[in-house]
Amino acid sequence: MSSTTTPHGGDFDTPTLDMESAELLQTISEHGGYAYVRMASLAATGDVRAAEAALEMAWEQLHSGPWQSVLPVWRDAYSMACLHVARHHNGNGEFKEALRVLDMGIIMGGTLLRKDLDSAIEKVSERANSSRRVLQLLPIKSLSSKIVEKRSGLSLDKFLKDHYLAGTPVIISDCMVHWPAKTKWNNIDYLLRVAGDRTVPVEVGKNYLCTDWKQELITFSELLQRIKSNGGSPGGPTYLAQHPLFDQINELRKDIFIPDYCFAGGGELRSLNAWFGPAGTVTPLHHDPHHNILAQVVGKKYVRLYSASLSEELYPYSETMRTNSSQVDLDDIDERKFPKVQDLEFVDCILEEGDMLYIPPKWWHYVRSLTTSFSVSFWWSEGECSDAP
């Protein structure tokens, strides 16, 4: 699938469009709008360029003569295209642009899809307000520059060429719809039944770079109780972090599948780890040696990534055990010690439930849970074709 195709992330419902689309397109065809129909049909599958082309075609029809002479069907066609374009912007977190396009649909469009436009504006506005609240919790400049590209139905060939070999991150959606974990891990009773009495290692405190950070051994049921009480430990949030839980509890291993992308380039899976904790858990800025897919099974996280080429500018620790971690605390940057960090280029994203994020080797990343979160990381090694052109 092409990179101009985007999933319906953070989607809004369009019941009238779904019901009336075929008849509307037929009417547009009868009035000579064959090119529009082709583009609108592609737009309905998520093709962004086709949606923008359809919008432009309808706009031209609206300005082809005096307003009173414009056929009503072209006003409805304009509304349809506005919904497709707005859906793309909404899925990418571009809420202001989505609202602008939807307002144009109300101002210039017809009456047929008015309820869908109004409903979409309500949904986008809700997401925009939620995003503003989230921004107050995140490092400075978050979600203000380049957002990680998001792709649906990404083929292995495209993944290999555009991301694995190119060394660029990508969010892949719609790849774990068949995982039992998608429903089971949202059920506390299920987790208690299969893992409640098992002992697991957890981290307590802000993060592993802080002096008050410590590790404990507790039962999984106690971890669930602490998560339920929003962290629940005097020393700070409790986090099951980078633990090979699936080697320990086979029932949970059966709930997930290794993504095919992990075999891209002929590499081998190196580790399979669980990350489970309440909102507010933080993994500080660091890098890992392997290719990594972070699968967000429950909840959502904020992730910021810096290119591996920026290692020196991110002030890695000099101690042997910490050379893969940055001295920079993105939650409280010391601008006197690290004056250039604010100007470094990065990409970031909100990793939604059901998304997978590919992180290339040595790319620096910071992760913060925005809700109760259960994630799985898949590390795999370089394959023989990694140096392919």
Question: Which pLDDT score, from 0 to 100, does residue 367 have?
Answer: 97
What is the span of the domain harbouring residue 232? 140-382
Q: What is the dihedral of CA 187, 192, 198, 201, to 10 degrees?
A: 50
The domain boundary, picked from 80, 109, 136, lies at: 136
Give the E-state strand segments of the chain in sequence order.
146-147, 150-152, 170-173, 199-204, 214-219, 238-243, 269-277, 282-286, 291-298, 301-306, 347-351, 356-359, 364-369, 373-380
In whole angstroms, what is the distance from residue 148 CA to residue 347 CA? 6
201 lies in some domain: yes
How many domains in the chain? 2
Q: Cα dist. 28→24, 58, 66, 96, 108 in Å?
A: 6, 10, 19, 30, 17
Q: How far is CA 200 from CA 218, 224, 226, 249, in A?
A: 6, 12, 13, 10
Identify whether 228 is part of a domain.
Answer: yes
Question: For residues 245 and 249, what is the distance between their CA atoms, to the nearest angstrom?
Answer: 6
Same domain, 78 and 179: no
Nearest to 87 by CA among 74, 62, 105: 105
Question: Residue 244 is part of a domain; what is its CATH number?
Answer: 2.60.120.650
In a domain, 7, yes or no: no
Residue 9 lies in a domain: no
**Secondary structure of residue 230 in the 3-state scheme:** coil
In a shared domain, residues 106 and 122: yes
- Asked, for residue 361, whether it belongs to a domain, the answer is yes
Nearest residue to 208 (alpha-carbon basis) of 295, 371, 325: 325
Residue 244 and residue 285 in one domain = yes
Q: Tell whether 157 and 246 lie within a shared domain.
A: yes
279 and 197 within one domain: yes
Q: Which of 107, 136, 165 is at the close of a domain? A: 136
Which residue, of 76, 111, 136, is where some domain finishes?
136
| Contact present, 90 and 98 (Cβ < 8 Å) | yes
24 lies in the same domain as 96: yes
Give pTM, 2 decimals.
0.74
Shared domain for 43 and 178, answered yes or no, is no
Question: C-alpha distances in angstroms, 309 versus 287, 319, 330?
Answer: 12, 20, 18
Q: Which long-range contacts (CB under 8 A, 24 or more apart) does 322-329 make?
A: 322/209, 324/286, 324/287, 324/288, 324/289, 325/209, 325/284, 325/285, 325/286, 326/284, 326/285, 326/286, 326/364, 328/285, 329/209, 329/284
Judge whether 1 lies within some domain: no
pLDDT for position 384: 58
My answer on whether 131 and 146 are in the same domain is: no
State the CB neighbour count (10 A cutoff) for residue 121: 18
Residues 132, 145, single domain; the answer is: no
Both 336 and 235 in one domain: the answer is: yes
In a shared domain, residues 151 and 259: yes
> Does residue 282 lie within any of the structural domains?
yes
Q: pLDDT tens digits, the chain, 389 residues: what are they? A: 333 444 344 478 999 999 999 999 999 999 999 999 999 999 999 899 999 999 999 999 999 999 999 999 999 999 999 999 999 999 877 899 999 999 999 999 999 999 999 999 999 999 888 777 777 889 888 888 789 999 988 999 999 999 999 999 999 998 999 999 999 999 999 999 999 999 999 999 777 676 677 899 999 999 999 998 865 566 678 999 999 999 999 999 999 999 999 998 888 899 999 999 999 899 999 999 999 999 999 999 999 999 999 999 999 998 877 889 999 999 989 989 998 898 999 999 999 999 999 999 999 999 999 999 999 999 999 865 544 43
CB distance 374 to 380 below 8 Å: no
Q: Does residue 359 sit in the same domain as residue 287?
A: yes
Q: Is residue 4 part of a domain?
A: no
